Every structure is written in structure tokens, then in C-alpha cells.
Amino acid sequence: MSLPERIVAGDRLALARLLTQLENEAPEGQDTLGALYVHTGDSYRIGVTGAPGTGKSTLVNQLARQLRQRPFPDASDAPRVAIIAVDPSSPFTGGAILGDRIRMRDLSGDEGIFIRSMASRGSLGGLAKTTGSLALALDAAGFEIILIETVGAGQAEVEVASAAHTTIVIDAPGMGDEVQANKAGILEIADILVVNKADQPGAENTVRVLEMALEFANQQERADRVNWKPPVLPTTATTGVGIPGLVDSIYAHFNFLKDTGQWAERERQLISTQFYAGLQQELFERFCRSNADGVLERKIDALLARKISPREAIASLLDARD
């Protein structure tokens, strides 16, 4: 069997090999992904984002376990669940990847759960692209649900998270509350808000603060999503308290997206974004290859010397007059 055939048939080793190729940006990885594309489009992607230490990994672990315990809407079986943990070796959590691997180990006995940790090397834009490729591979491999854990610290992470059908934003008491959430524009992308560490002092206050911030954000920017009111749910990921309620909300949001046609809209938006980004990159690379060495550098020299304007430089390159 070929690598794509083995992946579709559920061969975990073949899948792991492809994921490594994609992570290393090996060209054969993209070839395999191309052959698998026809088998994608069936997965429900859930982004989980929030500041380091809020309990994302612990919660994702619990969530996967509990998602495995009930049938997916309109299905008779529990979904197969894949986890992509995009965990930077951040100065706050140094060694978080190892920590995650250890914490998630107890899940690995379940054939219906697949876990992949990804160190965030390189640019964050590249990270978003790699995450998208990994998600496609897992989709083709038949995982009905893909949980994507990212650290919500800036715009790029927000982008990773918003490449999902449902975005869960996690906060915890004592993290600086809504200031942090607002900073990354994270409230606007949240479909579900979670206040984890509900066993810790101050959790109720954090819930209240977020509810108020949401109320405000709702009036300001969320006119397009009037039909869905993001809930604020307290959880204790370490014990599992509150996780069944979170699963209820996730499935409610899934049904909402399907019933209102927003699912199809999000799919189209996602595919267009990826398509345009790929097209842009490919056109640029081809253009650079088709121009003799030094042409672009000479344009920059001319710009530096103010002999031409940037607009003229671009026009002359595109018209192939030099």
C-alpha cells in the first residue's frame, strides 16, 4: 500500500511519518497531503487557546477523554479525537512539551485518541500553515474531532485558533483577567469561554469579569453573531469538574453552526484563506525564480538612490522591462 492509502486505512505509524514530514516542511509531505485532499473535509476542528499556565493541556486531555464517552451529534459512535498541541518552549513554562507528553500519556492507551505535540520553531505565520497541514492529515486519517491547543499571546496564535470551527478561550483566576483576553482581541474570536482552576480563589470573580467584557464586546463587534451567545463556563481540569458541561456547549455550538449555515461559511472562508496564501507564496517564488540573479537587488539599489519610486520599480519588474 502507498503512504496515502495506509493513512486512510488508519495506519498510525504512516500517519506519524507524514506528520513529521509536514512539520519539517519536506516536499514529499505536501505531495502526500495532495493525494489525501479528496479524503478531507469531514473533521470538526476545535481551537483551545489562552495564556500559558491557564491549564489548556490539562483541559484538552480531559476533554478528549470525555468526548470519547459519548456519541457525536447524529452519530451512533463516539468520535475519534486527535490533539495537536502547539506548545512553544516558552520561558514561562520551560519544558512544557515534555510536561504535556507526560500528562497526556494516560490517554495513549485509547486507540481513538491521537496526540501530537509540536514545538513552535520558526515564524508564527509558518506555524499557522504547518498546523493547518497537520489538521488536514488528521482529517484524512479519519479523526472526527481535532483539538488544537495554542498559546494565546498574539495575533498569529489567534489566527491558528480561528482556523477552527469552534474556538474555546481559556482564562484562570489571577491571570490578569479581561485585560489579557482583550489584548489579543481574543474575546471576539471566542465561541466558548472557560474559566479553569475554578477550585482556586477568585474564579467566580473572573467569570463575572469575563461575562461583563463579553457583554460589552457583543454590543461593539459581534453583531454578525447575534444568534450565538458565548457561555462562560467554570471548570477544574485537574479533576474533570465542569468538563461534561463544556462538552454540552461544544456540541451545542456544533449544532448551531450546522443549523444556521455558518459551518459552510467558515469552511469556505478557511479554504479561501489557505488558497490565497498558497497562491501568493507560489506566485512570488516563481517570479523570483524567473528573474535573473541580482535584478531584485539592483531595484533595491535604485530605490536607495531614489532613482525610481517603489511603484515604478514594481511596474518595471512586472512589465519585464529592465
Ligand X SMILES: Nc1nc2c(ncn2[C@@H]2O[C@H](COP(=O)(O)OP(=O)(O)O)[C@@H](O)[C@H]2O)c(=O)[nH]1
Asked if 210 contacts 181 with a C-beta cutoff of 8 angstroms, the reply is: yes
Q: Which stretch binds Mg ion (CB under 5 A): 28-36, 51-59, 165-173, 301-309?
A: 51-59
Q: Which residue is nearest to Mg ion (CB)?
A: 57
Count of beta carbons in the 10 Å neighbourhood of residue 275: 10
206 binds ligand X (CB under 6 A): no
Select the residue interacting with ligand X from 21, 32, 49, 57 (CB under 6 A).
Answer: 57
E strand or H helix at 11: none
Pick the closest to residue 131 from 167, 87, 91, 168 (CA basis): 87
SS3 123: coil
How many residues bind ligand X (CB under 6 A)? The answer is: 17
Asked if 6 contacts 32 with a C-beta cutoff of 8 angstroms, the reply is: no
The DSSP line for 59-90 is HHHHHHHHHTTSPPTT-SSPPPEEEEEE----
Select the residue interacting with Mg ion from 32, 43, 49, 57 (CB under 5 A).
Answer: 57
The edge-to-edge listing of strands for the beta sheet with 232-234 is 113-118, 81-86, 145-151, 44-50, 166-171, 192-195, 232-234
Phi, psi of 169 (to 5 degrees): -105, 130
Least separation in angstroms between residue 108's CB and ligand X is 17
Q: Which stretch binds Mg ion (CB under 5 A): 21-29, 80-88, 111-119, 201-209?
A: 80-88
Q: Which residue, chain included where needed, has cell 450565538? A: 228
Q: Which is nearer to ligand X, 52 or 142 (CB)?
A: 52
Q: Which is nearer to Mg ion, 57 or 130 (CB)?
A: 57
Supply 230's cell numbers. 458565548
Q: Which is nearer to ligand X, 82 or 83 (CB)?
A: 83
Least separation in angstroms between residue 92's CB and ligand X is 8
Q: Which stretch binds ligand X (CB under 6 A): 10-18, 182-190, 236-244, 269-277?
A: 236-244
Binding-residue pattern over the window 91 to 120 for ligand X, x denoting contact by CB under 6 A: --x--x--x---------------------
Supply 120's cell numbers. 513552535
Least separation in angstroms between residue 87's CB and Mg ion is 5
Q: Which residue, chain included where needed, has cell 460589552? A: 216
55 binds ligand X (CB under 6 A): yes
Select the residue interacting with ligand X from 45, 80, 197, 253 (CB under 6 A).
Answer: 197
45 binds ligand X (CB under 6 A): no
**How far is CA 218 from each of CA 98, 248, 263, rounded to the nearest angstrom?**
38, 22, 20
80 binds ligand X (CB under 6 A): no
Amino acid at 216: F
Which residues 87-106 are close enough to bind Mg ion by CB under 5 A?
A: 87
Q: Which stretch binds Mg ion (CB under 5 A): 79-87, 105-113, 180-188, 227-235?
A: 79-87
**How far is CA 202 from each of CA 174, 179, 206, 231, rounded to the nearest angstrom?**
7, 15, 6, 18
Q: Which stretch binds Mg ion (CB under 5 A): 56-64, 107-115, 118-126, 238-246?
A: 56-64
Which option in Mg ion, ligand X, none does residue 166 bind, with CB closer than 5 to 8 A by kind? none
The footprint of ligand X (CB under 6 A) covers 52-58, 93, 96, 99, 196-197, 199-200, 236-238
The footprint of Mg ion (CB under 5 A) covers 56-57, 87
